[in-house]
Amino acid sequence: MIDIIRHKQVSLNDLQEGEYVINEFGGKIKGVLKLNGKLHNTIFNEESNKAPLKSEQNDIVINDGVNDRVIIGDIGKTKDGKLYGMKVSKVGSDARFASENKLLINTAKNFLWPAFRVYIDDSQVWATGGYSKVEFENKNKSTVVNNYDNNSNIDYTNDYFIVPYDGIYHFNTSLLYEDAHSAQVDSGESLSQILYVDSNSSGAYVSSDDLSIKIRLDVYHADLIADKFWSTRLSAETKLSAGDKVQWAILNATGANIEPYNSSTHDVNYNMFTGHLVCLT
């Protein structure tokens, strides 16, 4: 039971380190916490039973009433005077001393919601007989909206999205194939695309250790003559962990090389990879 001190203003000498009390004085109700030799206090919200505690060092502590979970963090002020930068501890952790790797999210680092739109290298060729990753290219053209990577999670060197936070994510791919290198995609041959978690950062899909998110069979038992185009899309939603590397690949089993539509102006209208965080978990 939290102690209540009435009819006097609480001082440092009234509390032990880490002690929290309710202080009724001067017509106001405040929550007061002694932490690191300083008093932290705020107006107490009786309806929600929550008391955010702002200190002179710009730290806050909030008991949100969920399994004794505590929210702590360094905060600052934006130009409009609003506070930002909150750290949330995992249930069961000691929030006052929680290290960053135990935090669900650290908004003290100016949290940006992960979202991206990347275009692909339209000069790449996907060889027959196996999986080939789809290579990204950081480019913008006047005919379409610019690409973006809102939280800097796209690795253009290794061609994957690095998951920043545990959560549920949504992805879309869009691709226009160009069958310029073969006479046809014969019956019995196939062409597929796959989204997967590259478990060992090998840059190639290996079914024995990589985790498939979704596979789409784009072409099968279809005779397609040379120099024709066909479009395809893939959509997937999945739960991922921080540090997972999401890669996009093509499985070419057509007997000939296949490439994406290549145009100096219009390729970005058709060939892209997009994704965003749906919610944290």
pLDDT tens for each residue of 115-147:
999 999 988 888 888 899 999 998 887 778 889
User: What does the pLDDT look like over 182-194, one tens digit per residue?
Assistant: 545 676 788 899 9
Q: Are 247 and 241 in contact (CB under 8 A)?
A: no
Q: What is the DSSP letter of 26?
A: T
Average pLDDT value for residue range 100-110 = 53
User: What does the pLDDT look like over 202-230, one tens digit per residue?
Assistant: 888 888 889 999 999 887 766 656 667 77
What's the one-letter identity of residue 259?
E
Task: Tell which residue, 152, 177, 168, has the closest CA to residue 229.
Answer: 177
User: What does the pLDDT look like over 11-59, one tens digit per residue?
Assistant: 888 888 878 788 888 777 777 878 778 887 765 454 554 444 443 344 4
Would you state the structure tokens that stand for residue 98, as one six-digit string? 């929680």
Question: Under the phi-then-psi rule, with left for phi > 0, alpha for psi from -120 to 50, and beta for the rest, what region is 143?
Answer: alpha
Compute CA 274 distance to the chain's CA centroid, rounded to the nearest angstrom: 12
According to DSSP, the residues that pair with 115 across neighbouring strands are 276
Res 36: pLDDT: 75
Would you state the structure tokens that stand for residue 197, as one six-digit string? 């978690």
Pick the range with the lowest mean pLDDT from 1-5, 52-56, 264-268. Answer: 52-56
User: What does the pLDDT look like over 223-243, one tens digit per residue?
Assistant: 656 667 778 899 999 999 999
Contacts (Cβ under 8 Å, ≥6 apart) of 4: 21, 22, 23, 24
**Rounded distance, CA 171 to CA 239, Å?**
11
Q: Which is more confidently placed, 210 or 97? A: 210
Q: Apex CA 222: angle with CA 218 and CA 225, to 5°?
A: 105
